[in-house]
Amino acid sequence: MFQEILKDIVTATEFKEGDMLSPINKLYFSKPISKDNFHAINLTNFSSLSSPSSTHSSSSDLSSSSSPSSSISDLSSSSSPHSSSSDFSSSSFPPSSFSDLSSSSSPSYLVSTSPSSKLCFIDGGSAEIIKAPNLSMFFIRAYAHITLNNKTIKDKKIEFYCIFKTKIKEEKIFYEVNFITNSNDTNANNINTNNTDIDNTNNNDTNNTDKYNTNNTYIHNTNYKEYAKYLPDKEDLELFSYDTTIVSGENRAEISKLGDVVRRFAELRLAKLMTETELTCNDIIILDGNLRATYTNEEKYLNALYYAALKNNIIITAFCKTSNLLTEKGSNIVSVLNHVAELNNIKGCWFYHPIVEIKDEKHRAEMMFVKLNPLSEYIFRYEIYAQQFKLSSINEILSILALNSVDYSFPGYPYGLIKADTMARVSNKECEFLKTKILFSLESSHNFKDLRKSMNALNAHNILDRK
């Protein structure tokens, strides 16, 4: 009976010459899909982007299994690794658009070349610790993983808590944020569960080293001025509860939605700081996701990153784990590209471009799709900052990325992003530990019962799930 599931589904086999990506919105102009837009990634004859960096003479292997304990960590690793919007315009998919990126059907050649540009992979993770209709507390982690010739150069980890609360402004409900930086022993009693400020100046504990910043930002056992540069600006996170970039349908946005916004802003700010402090000319940043500004004030962080990148000659790119883009015939774009490649016997590693011309100021990127390992069954969406895009140099960038995409656990997916995802991810186990720790610390607070009552408005499902 389950065969009915497959009935009348639009598949890639229904592809016809001239089909195009369905425009995301009116500022995106699609190109016909064609075999002529496939381009090979040449891994045997490419020129390196820059001379080998002498900044880091000793480097360790790509992978690291140790978890940093500090909030801002510079780490050395030693273990070895073995859309529905209207602003897009579509491009047709002709079969000649594919170019083979490799000269061999085996991935073994991928490890024979040593590109000289460093790769900096950026990802973030988050977990909601406390959830109520008018209050939400998140733990946020952003992670940067820098490699050269598939050897780890440096890892940097940023961790902090953020508390979102409701506030009335001009007779409307807004959401605001406070930050708490992570430390080895965070004093959760300093978490305020109502909308009043906490002043620790009268604390009788003379050994308490926690600081309280007058801008409603809680600082624990760390230099605020040093840490603040890694945090998003508070004023950018004061959002109207019906802000169109975070609402769901016609409903008021849940306060929890701001956790995604903070994580994204933190990733972009970390990328900017890596550009200014750790990377050199022709190094490449690979963000997890895309280069489109979807949240209110996100464009500010992207533009700051672009400015720093142009100033320091750092290449800004983004790599999407998933893609829900459709063709005008209703098929999945990734399936169609796979199908056209098979029809035209296009093998090895390749990238597909052009797919769409983007004229949206909030999405200043060149979009393409890439296959980075001949043994991989996966194609990924990849974007490059438009002002830095030159077709002649794309092969060099993708060759370096392909050399990083040979891990046996996920061939065709950059290992650096696997590492960044693993280190940034907040597991369910870690989330439960943090929740237990914080709620236990809050039990002695005078308004803890009020907090519990607020949490009970949203946690009935959790009670039922345990039965």
Quick one: pLDDT at residue 45?
52
User: Which DSSP string corresponds to 186-230?
Assistant: --GGG---SSS----TT-S-TT---EEETTTEEE-SS-HHHHHTT
Quick: pLDDT tens for 367-421.
Answer: 999 999 999 999 999 999 999 998 778 999 999 999 999 999 999 999 999 999 9
* Distance (Å, whole) CA 139 – CA 160: 6
For residue 456, what are its two tokens? 């009970």
User: Which DSSP string corresponds to 280-291?
Assistant: -TT-EEEEES-S
Structure-token match 């733990």, residue found: 139
State the Cα torsion 58-59-65-70 to the nearest 10°. 70
Environment class of 266 (CB within 10 Å of its CB; exposed 0-12, middle 13-18, buried 19+) = buried
Q: Is the dihedral of CA 147, 152, 154, 160 positive or negative?
A: positive
* Residue 215 or 360, more confident: 360
| Range among 5-9, 45-49, 274-278 rated most confident | 274-278
At residue 440, does pLDDT exceed 60?
A: yes
Quick: pLDDT tens for 191-228.
Answer: 333 333 323 333 333 333 333 333 333 334 345 667 78
SS3 46: coil
Residue 147 contacts residue 155 (beta carbons within 8 Å): no
Specify the pTM.
Answer: 0.78
* Distance (Å, whole) CA 329 – CA 324: 14
Nearest to 327 by CA among 82, 13, 1, 104: 13
Residue 27 contacts residue 81 (beta carbons within 8 Å): no
